[in-house]
Amino acid sequence: MSLIDDLEKWIAPLRRKVAGLVVQALVKEATLAGPIQLYKVQTAFDEVSTDVPRVEQYGLISNPVGTDYRAIILQVNGNRNQQIMIAVDDPNSKPIDMNDAGASGLFNSGGCKIYLKGNDIKITVPTGGKFSINDGTFEVTA
């Protein structure tokens, strides 16, 4: 064996571990009760993981509807038994009118939207919906 072959053999386990740190998956089931959302996900080669916790950004919550939406999973130290979901995405539910460069927004499955574009803010509540401000003062300054 050459030095190159020895080196390849030595770094192969490290290469596999690094390659398995970030995994794309499909969400198959969600348990949304309690403070931590737990998911059943399907990764490559039809591998199924259960009770994968989802980490959410502080101050934001979301509970996606349905299944088969995309998820990004971190596998701590490349270990499949230590998975954490860091993102979910369902491109089919994203409003197509909220895709301008530099803009951002929030939306839900019921059609409510808050859209920030440039120096404009647009709030949409669908027909039959309700916009409420509870226990506070609402002030508009022009």
pLDDT tens, 62-114? 888 888 899 999 998 878 889 999 999 887 788 888 888 999 999 988 889 99
User: 52 and 11 in one domain?
Assistant: yes
User: 125 and 99 in one domain?
Assistant: yes
CATH number at residue 34: 2.40.50
What does the DSSP assignment read for 3-59? Answer: HHHHHHHHHHHHHHHHHTSEEEEEEEEEE--SSS-EEEEE-GGG-EEEEEEB---TT
User: 81 and 35 in one domain?
Assistant: yes
Mean pLDDT on 1-9: 85
At 26, is the pLDDT very low, low, confident or very high (cuts 50, 70, 90)? very high
Number of structural domains in the chain: 2
Domain region containing 139 = 94-142
- Which two three-digit tokens encode residue 3? 């030095």
Q: Is the pLDDT confidence value at 116 over 90?
A: yes
Of the candidates 125, 128, 124, 123, the one whose C-alpha atom is nearest the C-alpha of residue 140 is 123
User: 83 and 21 in one domain?
Assistant: yes
At 134, is the pLDDT very low, low, confident or very high (cuts 50, 70, 90)? confident
